[in-house]
Amino acid sequence: MTDQQPLYQLRDLSKTYTRGKESISIFKGLDMDIQHGDFIAIMGPSGSGKTTLLNQLGGIDSPSSGQVVFEGKRIDNLSQGALAKWRSRNVGFIFQFYNLMPTLSAAQNVELPLLLTGLSGGERKKRVKTALEIVGIADRAGHKPRQLSGGQQQRVAIARAIVADPKILLADEPTGDLDRTTADEILGMLQQLNTELGKTIVMVTHDPSAAKYAKRELYLDKGEFVERGNRS
Amino acid sequence: MKQLFAVIGMNVRSIPQRAGMSIATITSVAFMVAVLLGFLAMANGFEKTINGSGSDDVAVFLRGGSQAEVNSVLAREDARLIEVAPGIATDESGDPIMSAELYVIVDGTKRSSQTEANLPLRGVQQQAVNLRQNFALTGGRMFEPGTAELVVGEGVIREFEGFDLGQTIRLGSNTWTIVGTFSTGGSVFDSEVWADLGVVQNLYQRGSSVQSLRARLTSPDAIEDVRAYVEGEDRLNLDVTSEREYFADSAGGIATLLKFVGWPLSIVMAIGAFAGAWNTMYSSVDSRTREIATLRTIGFSGFTAFMGTLIESLVLALLGGALAILVIYILFNGNSASTLGGGFTQIVFSFEVTLGSVISGLVLALSVGFLGGIIPGIRAARVPLLAVHQN
């Protein structure tokens, strides 16, 4: 692998859902490259397929046709087990509703991806601490999600997404459940992860002011991409 | 393994979030196990009492075909012929160790229900105490021959009113004085009241007849010599069995019956408990669909989701089983009860929660937990990853 090779190459990607006898095409013939260090905001109206596209990138849904190539290797034809392994090594997910485990503390939530690695308990603790420090919430390590505000929960979720040092962060409406001020803090943090730590990020949002934090803004409508802005 | 333990821990810790359903499952499993353990404790206690009552080296003689003491009548002549039979042990003075006994049913008032129940009043000869294993006077003294005095088994004192040491009691038309209490280590004889044979014969107008003879054998194998003697003696029409066989035949079936009632009843209850566990685990999977999908999205396997659900179900079942064992042990173990024995009289026995019963109860509980968790577990393993976006 070289830096010149795109992280992702989407080729002729189509997704169709079948409802009864009716086929609904979400997108058709999409082509897209995502480079290392990109921070892409994908925008579009509801039902345009933003989240569906994110699911293809994250290997949690398979395309109806076309290819998803990651670092030169197709992932769209991997088995469920192989995809699970691939996700654990390469992808960090950030969700709109944080998706933290309510019975675990912040630190335990962050540790989850590391349980899939061969790291020792001591090493895992060290990494969890570092991740929580990066997102500025190390003082809440022992708190359960219900004891944290929405913004704090999303910080924990970001720490969980980065703790295993994945190659890509996929964020689905990461500020959709937050007030403006908190949203700006979270988006600033994602921007910092991109600029300072070189994390590649693909973020789905319908909020134009959130998209401004990304280097590239792609608009997905009627199954096609339109590039709105490129600040890279 | 780390991911498996993490998921199991999450599942178990989330049980309080479904407190109502979880408690219902624990309770239904507890009831099921409690019923089983209750019956098994009863059967075990009864069986122990019966097994502890018989000796291999004591022969019991009854009239031929009578099967139980209550149906048997023996003449004085029979006793004289048995005394000289081969294989009958003798004491230091050369007298045969045997006791002719008369078995009369009297009424007693049960402490628990204040109802009348049958009690055996046994008229015995002096050697009777040497023919019972572990016989010991626990209070007072033995009755004086020729007097209306009683010695009372410990089980009778526990279960029946009016038999305390020093009291007088009216049994039928006769008044007796209780001069002693005895124990035979929890055997059937603890459920009896003893008096002098001659007095019982007189008061109950039985002439010189008795109902059974008990005799110590020189060895357990000597029973065959005695049988051969009885069969070869035309003047005798007797059935000869060892005391152990006698009790096993006359009352052992009740223990088996208790077990045969306990298991089917518990299995019927297990169906209810299984439905409860299934429902709870479905609810657990439904309420954690997004959590499960999130874990699988992160990279956890479907197998861990399956095992997490299954173990949660097993934990609930185990809690129910443990609760039942604790309650049954505290409330029943060692407690005294009585039931109708082979001679239509009450046999007093103690509930006994054995290790075997506990294991049976836990196996039943875990079986319910396993069956109740397996299908919801498969459902957990198949939670669609796209559920990760659910609110």
pLDDT digits (tens, 9 = 90+) for B202-252: 988 888 889 999 999 999 999 999 999 999 988 889 999 988 888 777 665
Residue A67 lies in a domain: no
Each residue of B167-198: pLDDT tens digit? Answer: 999 887 789 999 999 998 877 788 899 999 99
* Residue B338 scores a pLDDT above 60: no
Inter-chain contact B385–A60, Cβ cutoff 8 Å?
A: yes
Inter-chain contact A58–B2, Cβ cutoff 8 Å?
A: no
Residue A11 lies in a domain: no
Residue A224 lies in a domain: yes
- Once rounded to an integer, what is the mean pLDDT over residues B59-73? 85
Each residue of B273-286: pLDDT tens digit? Answer: 778 777 877 777 88
Of the candidates B345, B330, B346, B341, the one whose C-alpha atom is nearest the C-alpha of residue B159 is B346
What pLDDT band is residue B76 in, cutting at 50, 70 and 90? confident
- Answer left, alpha or beta for residue B162, where phi above 0 means left and psi between -120 and 50 means alpha: left
Instruction: Give the per-residue pLDDT at B344.
Output: 47
d(CA B241, CA B237): 13
- Once rounded to an integer, what is the mean pLDDT over residues B344-363? 77
Helices (H), chain B: 2-13, 19-51, 76-83, 154-159, 197-203, 222-232, 243-287, 289-298, 302-332, 355-381
Strand B136-140 relative to strand B174-183, pairing = antiparallel
Residue A166 lies in a domain: yes
Residue A50 lies in a domain: yes
Bridge partner residues of B123 (DSSP): B102, B195
Interface of B with A in 298-317 (CB under 8 A): 298-302
- Name residues whose C-beta falls within 8 Å of residue B22's C-beta, 6 or more positions apart in sequence: B15, B16, B280, B316
Each residue of B295-332: pLDDT tens digit? Answer: 999 998 888 889 888 888 899 889 999 999 999 888 87
Instruction: Give the per-residue pLDDT at B349.
Output: 67
Q: C-alpha angle B375/B376/B378, rounded to 5°?
A: 65
Q: Which among A32-36, B48-52, B66-70, B338-342 has the top mean pLDDT?
A: A32-36
d(CA B233, CA B186): 37
* Residue B346 scores a pLDDT above 60: no
Interface size, chain A vs chain B, as Cβ–Cβ contacts under 8 Å: 67
> Which of A85, A95, A101 is closest, CB to CB, to B299?
A85
* Residue B342 scores a pLDDT above 60: no
Interface of A with B in 73-102 (CB under 8 A): 80-81, 84-85, 87-89, 93, 95-97, 99, 101-102
Instruction: Give the per-residue pLDDT at B251.
Output: 61
Domain that holds residue A120: 37-60+80-230
Query: Which of the two residues, B343 and A119, has the higher pLDDT score?
Result: A119
Instruction: Give the per-residue pLDDT at A1.
Output: 46
* Residue A192 scores a pLDDT above 70: yes
Residues of A with CB below 8 A from B291's CB? Answer: 99, 101-102
Strand A8-19 relative to strand A65-70, pairing = antiparallel
Interface of A with B in 145-174 (CB under 8 A): 160, 172
Residue A21 lies in a domain: no
Residue A89 lies in a domain: yes
DSSP chain A: --TTS-SEEEEEEEEEEEETTEEEEEEEEEEEEE-TT-EEEEE--TTSSHHHHHHHHHTSS--SEEEEEETTEE-TT--HHHHHHHHHHHEEEE-TT----TTS-HHHHHHGGGGGS---HHHHHHHHHHHHHHTT-GGGTT--GGGS-HHHHHHHHHHHHHTT--SEEEEESTTTTS-HHHHHHHHHHHHHHHHHH--EEEEE-S-HHHHTTSSEEEEEETTEEEEEEE--
Q: Which residue of B7, B11, B297, B303 is the best one to mutate when testing the A interface, meaning the one whose CB has the most A CBs within 10 A?
A: B297
**What is the share, in percent, of chain A residues with pLDDT greater than 90?**
60
Instruction: Give the per-residue pLDDT at B341.
Output: 54
Residues of A with CB below 8 A from B17's CB? Answer: 102-103
**CATH number of residue A121's parent domain:** 3.40.50.300
- Once rounded to an integer, what is the mean pLDDT over residues A165-185? 90
Q: Which of A205-209, B32-36, B185-189, B207-211 is predicted least confidently?
A: B185-189
**How near does any CA of chain A get to the CA of B300, in Å?**
7
Q: Which of A33-42, A210-219, B248-257 is predicted least confidently?
A: B248-257
Instruction: Give the per-residue pLDDT at B219.
Output: 92
d(CA A172, CA B313): 34
Instruction: Give the per-residue pLDDT at B193.
Output: 94
Interface check B389 vs A, CB under 8 A: yes
Q: C-alpha angle B121/B122/B125, rounded to 5°?
A: 150
d(CA A49, CA B257): 69
Inter-chain contact B300–A116, Cβ cutoff 8 Å?
A: yes
Domain count, chain A: 1
Interface of B with A in 1-20 (CB under 8 A): 2-3, 6, 10, 13-14, 17
Instruction: Give the per-residue pLDDT at B372.
Output: 86
- Once rounded to an integer, what is the mean pLDDT over residues B130-149? 91
* Contact between residue A14 and residue A64 where contact means Cβ atoms under 8 Å apart: yes
What pLDDT band is residue B141 in, cutting at 50, 70 and 90? very high
CB atoms within 10 A of CB A61: 17
* Contact between residue B369 and residue B277 where contact means Cβ atoms under 8 Å apart: yes
Query: B18: helix, coil or strand?
Result: helix
Residue A198 lies in a domain: yes
Residues of A with CB below 8 A from B385's CB? Answer: 55, 60-61
Query: Which of the two residues, A13 and B254, has the higher pLDDT score?
Result: A13
Inter-chain contact B389–A116, Cβ cutoff 8 Å?
A: no
Q: Residue B81: phi, psi to the nearest 5? A: -70, -35
- Once rounded to an integer, what is the mean pLDDT over residues B143-165? 92
Instruction: Give the per-residue pLDDT at B250.
Output: 64
Each residue of A125-150: pLDDT tens digit? Answer: 999 999 999 999 999 999 999 999 99
- Name residues whose C-beta falls within 8 Å of residue A197's C-beta, 6 or more positions apart in sequence: A134, A162
